[in-house]
């Protein structure tokens, strides 16, 4: 049964509508009447009609004002306007408010019945739409945990899912391109490495899983995996900060807030390990850091990877960054820079606390560098029969890892020397002059047009020739030159980072810091600490 309310200051109209409804509309009942807009507003809370038949011209609060107020209280109510001819402009204003239709007085039986039926159909359709929306939401709610679990499992197993990243971002409405991983470990004991009764703790945590998940989702946008034995893995989307310290403090503040809520709902013991920000395709690295934060924890409830770096050998991470730089400089044929990097790599290996994992990692790095540089040399056609060179010595640590590293670096330098000779032989006089000009003026605001004008060729042609002969674009060459000079100044440690930024030709210290990290693998502040 659909409930109708009639609002009109003329009793004859109310009686007429009542008669028509009672006689011709079995599914509609007049449940309330009102003689003014104010009376209608007062009765609306208790009456709760589906449809209101509203006159416009009434004493006190008119129909238009009453509609506005009632819609604030119950937007779902449908309105049908009753209007006299001279009030037609008022009726148009009411229609603009979203009323279903209007009827001209005197009320015509057929028009009234037709309009109410049309309004009822509208109500039915809206109910159907809401029902389908609820069903869709219910289906999504059922499948979302499975999708979240799949996402978390992909990260934990270090699977490549770059092709699915954008799909996951769309499914979970993730606006960022990265974030950090968190692992909550449940168990008895004050040391996460020595916790006992993991199975029992896992059962306890399963009981509060939904509550913990609600807390996490309420506090921040995140993707929550299942509890595996006694661990819960979470991905928290975030933006990369200019300073790693800010990133750490923000993450700790959030997780401590979440932890307090977990403590409030349960007395189950837990520890939280937090990884650093990574792009989505590199989230396994953040997950690995979160696990390390648990493993190297000495009893702290919350621990960020930045706070446990002194517990494990940072040299292994530095070796990875150094390997990337060696490959980059090697491909460019920078023999002098490669010599310095090779010495740095040898020195760094000597400082590593060697174990089976560390030795295997170093061997893999050496093989990767040799294979990549071998392929580069072959593609350039600068060395014959390089593909027949055997690198089996890398896997033979019988002579000692230090000797294997030194032999590998020497082989790499031989390859890069051939690459450099090949590239320098093909450099024209104009490009050599350009390189000299860039070296002399890199500290000032320098652009491609300035260099091209100095060597008297068009910017377009200069850009093409410079890239072909040096293997780098103008901006790549300039950036490399500036960053290498910045590294020298940082090692000397006589100037502040801001002063070095200006000294090498940049005006924005924040931009300089981001560019330095992109080129070197760490920020200037971190680079200084290494020396």
Taking the C-alpha atoms of residue 105 and residue 84, their distance in angstroms, rounded to an integer, is 5
Distant-in-sequence, close-in-space partners of 530: CB < 8 Å, separation ≥ 6 = 318
Q: What's residue 216's pLDDT?
A: 92
Task: Give the least confident one: 374-388, 415-429, 512-526.
Answer: 374-388
Task: Give the least confident one: 183-192, 195-204, 358-367, 459-468.
Answer: 195-204
Query: Could you count the other beta carbons within 10 Å of the beta carbon of residue 458?
Result: 11
Q: What's residue 254's pLDDT?
A: 94
Q: Once rounded to an integer, what is the mean pLDDT over residues 58-64?
A: 87
Taking the C-alpha atoms of residue 493 and residue 531, their distance in angstroms, rounded to an integer, is 9
Q: What's residue 383's pLDDT?
A: 58
Q: What's residue 118's pLDDT?
A: 92
Taking the C-alpha atoms of residue 436 and residue 428, their distance in angstroms, rounded to an integer, is 13
Q: What's residue 83's pLDDT?
A: 79
Residue 478 has pLDDT above 80, yes or no: yes
Whether the model pTM is above 0.85 = no
Q: Once rounded to an integer, what is the mean pLDDT over residues 53-78?
A: 89
Query: Sign (positive/negative) of CA torsion 160, 166, 171, 174?
Result: positive
Taking the C-alpha atoms of residue 518 and residue 513, their distance in angstroms, rounded to an integer, is 9
Per-residue model confidence as pLDDT tens digits over 248-292: 899 999 999 999 999 888 888 899 999 999 988 888 889 988 988
Q: Are 226 and 149 in contact (CB under 8 A)?
A: yes
Q: Which two tokens stand for residue 26?
A: 């079995």
Task: Tell me the three state secondary structure of residue 415.
Answer: helix
- Of 448 and 320, the one with more pLDDT: 448
- Of 61 and 360, the one with more pLDDT: 61
% of the chain residues with pLDDT over 70 = 86
pLDDT band for 387, please (50, 70, 90 cuts). very low
Residue 195 has pLDDT above 70, yes or no: no
**What is the DSSP pairing of strand 178-186 with strand 231-237?**
antiparallel
pLDDT band for 313, please (50, 70, 90 cuts). low
Residue 242 has pLDDT above 90, yes or no: no
Alpha helices in 25-108 (DSSP H): 37-47, 63-73, 88-96
pLDDT band for 40, please (50, 70, 90 cuts). very high
Taking the C-alpha atoms of residue 14 and residue 37, their distance in angstroms, rounded to an integer, is 14
- Among the ranges 29-38, 201-210, 514-523, which has the highest mean pLDDT value? 29-38
Per-residue model confidence as pLDDT tens digits over 399-426: 788 888 888 888 888 888 887 776 666 6
Distant-in-sequence, close-in-space partners of 169: CB < 8 Å, separation ≥ 6 = 175, 177, 280
Taking the C-alpha atoms of residue 503 and residue 495, their distance in angstroms, rounded to an integer, is 9
Q: What's residue 296's pLDDT?
A: 73
Q: Are 162 and 222 in contact (CB under 8 A)?
A: no
Residue 329 has pLDDT above 70, yes or no: yes
Q: What's residue 224's pLDDT?
A: 92
Taking the C-alpha atoms of residue 118 and residue 51, their distance in angstroms, rounded to an integer, is 11
For 466-492, the three-class secondary structure string (H helix, E strand, C coil) is HHHHHCCCHHHHHHHHHHHHHHHHHHH
Q: What's residue 207's pLDDT?
A: 85
Q: What's residue 311's pLDDT?
A: 45
Dihedral Cα 278, 284, 289, 292, nearest 10 deg: 180
Q: Are 491 and 524 in contact (CB under 8 A)?
A: no
Q: What's residue 373's pLDDT?
A: 83
Alpha helices in 198-314 (DSSP H): 198-207, 209-219, 244-265, 283-295
Task: Tell me the three state secondary structure of residue 41.
Answer: helix
Q: What's residue 388's pLDDT?
A: 40
Task: Specify the residue for token string 């068009």.
Answer: 458
Query: Strand pairing partners for 51?
Result: 4, 78
**What is the DSSP pairing of strand 78-83 with strand 101-104?**
parallel
Q: Which two tokens stand for residue 477?
A: 């060459």
Residue 181 has pLDDT above 90, yes or no: yes
Count Cα neighbours of 168 within 13 Å in the Cβ-side half-sphere.
Answer: 24
Domains of the chain: 2-127 (3.40.50.2300), 158-310 (3.30.70.1230), 315-425 (no CATH), 429-529 (1.10.10.60)
Taking the C-alpha atoms of residue 162 and residue 282, their distance in angstroms, rounded to an integer, is 9
- Among the ranges 69-83, 126-140, 165-179, 344-358, which has the highest mean pLDDT value? 69-83
Residue 50 has pLDDT above 80, yes or no: yes
Torsions phi, psi for 2 (to 5 deg): -100, 130
**Mean pLDDT, all residues of the chain:** 82
Q: Once rounded to an integer, what is the mean pLDDT over residues 383-403?
A: 64
Per-residue model confidence as pLDDT tens digits over 143-164: 777 888 888 888 887 766 666 7
Q: What's residue 28's pLDDT?
A: 92
DSSP 8-class letter at 196: B
Task: Specify the residue for token string 């989230």.
Answer: 283
Task: Tell me the three state secondary structure of residue 121.
Answer: helix
Q: What's residue 49's pLDDT?
A: 94
Distant-in-sequence, close-in-space partners of 183: CB < 8 Å, separation ≥ 6 = 231, 232, 233, 234, 272, 273, 287, 290, 291, 293, 294
């Amino acid at each position: 049964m659909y409930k109708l309310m009639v609002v009109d200051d003329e009793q004859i109209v109310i009686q007429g509508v009542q008669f028509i409804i009672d006689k011709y509309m079995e599914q509609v009942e007049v449940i309330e009447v009102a003689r003014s807009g104010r009376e209608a507003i007062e009765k609306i809370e208790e009456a709760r009609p589906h449809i209101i038949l509203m006159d416009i011209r009434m004493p006190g609060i008119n129909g238009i004002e009453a509609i506005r107020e009632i819609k604030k209280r119950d937007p779902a109510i449908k309105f049908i306007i009753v209007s006299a001819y001279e009030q037609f402009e008022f009726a148009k204003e009411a229609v603009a408010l979203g009323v279903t239709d209007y009827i001209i007085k005197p009320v015509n039986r057929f028009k009234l019945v037709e309009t109410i039926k049309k309004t009822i159909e509208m109500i039915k359709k809206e109910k159907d739409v809401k029902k389908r929306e609820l069903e869709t939401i219910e289906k999504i709610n059922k499948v979302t945990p499975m999708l979240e679990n799949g996402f978390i499992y992909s990260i934990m197993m270090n699977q490549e899912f770059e092709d699915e990243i954008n799909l996951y971002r769309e499914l979970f409405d993730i606006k960022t391109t990265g974030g950090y991983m968190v692992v909550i470990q449940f168990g008895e004991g004050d040391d996460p490495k020595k916790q006992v009764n993991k199975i029992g703790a896992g059962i306890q945590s399963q009981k509060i899983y939904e509550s913990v998940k609600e807390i996490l989702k309420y506090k921040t946008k995140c993707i929550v995996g299942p509890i595996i034995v006694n661990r819960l893995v979470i991905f928290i989307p975030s933006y990369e900060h200019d300073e790693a310290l800010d990133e750490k403090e923000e993450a700790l503040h959030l997780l401590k807030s979440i932890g307090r809520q977990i403590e409030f709902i349960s007395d189950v013991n837990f520890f939280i390990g937090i990884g650093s920000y990574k792009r989505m395709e590199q989230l396994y690295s953040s997950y690995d850091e979160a696990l390390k934060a648990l493993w190297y924890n000495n009893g702290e409830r919350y621990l960020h990877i930045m706070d446990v770096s002194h517990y494990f050998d940072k040299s292994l991470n530095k070796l990875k960054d150094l390997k990337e730089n060696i490959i980059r400089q090697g491909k460019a044929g920078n023999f002098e820079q490669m010599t310095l990097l090779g010495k740095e790599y040898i020195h760094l290996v000597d400082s590593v606390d060697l174990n089976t994992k560390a030795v295997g990692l170093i061997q893999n790095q050496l093989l990767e560098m040799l294979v990549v540089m071998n392929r580069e040399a072959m593609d350039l056609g600068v060395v014959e029969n390089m593909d027949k060179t055997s690198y089996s010595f890398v896997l033979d640590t019988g002579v000692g890892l230090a000797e294997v590293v030194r032999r590998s670096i020497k082989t790499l330098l031989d390859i890069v020397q051939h690459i450099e000779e090949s590239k320098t032989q093909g450099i024209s006089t104009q490009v050599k002059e350009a390189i000299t000009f860039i070296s002399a003026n890199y500290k000032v605001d320098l652009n491609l047009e300035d260099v091209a004008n100095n060597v008297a060729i068009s910017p377009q042609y200069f850009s093409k020739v410079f890239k072909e002969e040096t293997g780098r674009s103008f901006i790549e060459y300039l950036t490399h030159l500036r960053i290498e000079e910045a590294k020298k100044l940082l090692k000397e440690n006589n100037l502040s980072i801001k002063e070095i930024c200006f000294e090498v030709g940049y005006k924005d210290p924040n931009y300089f810091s981001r560019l330095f990290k992109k080129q070197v693998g760490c920020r200037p502040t971190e680079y200084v600490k290494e020396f």
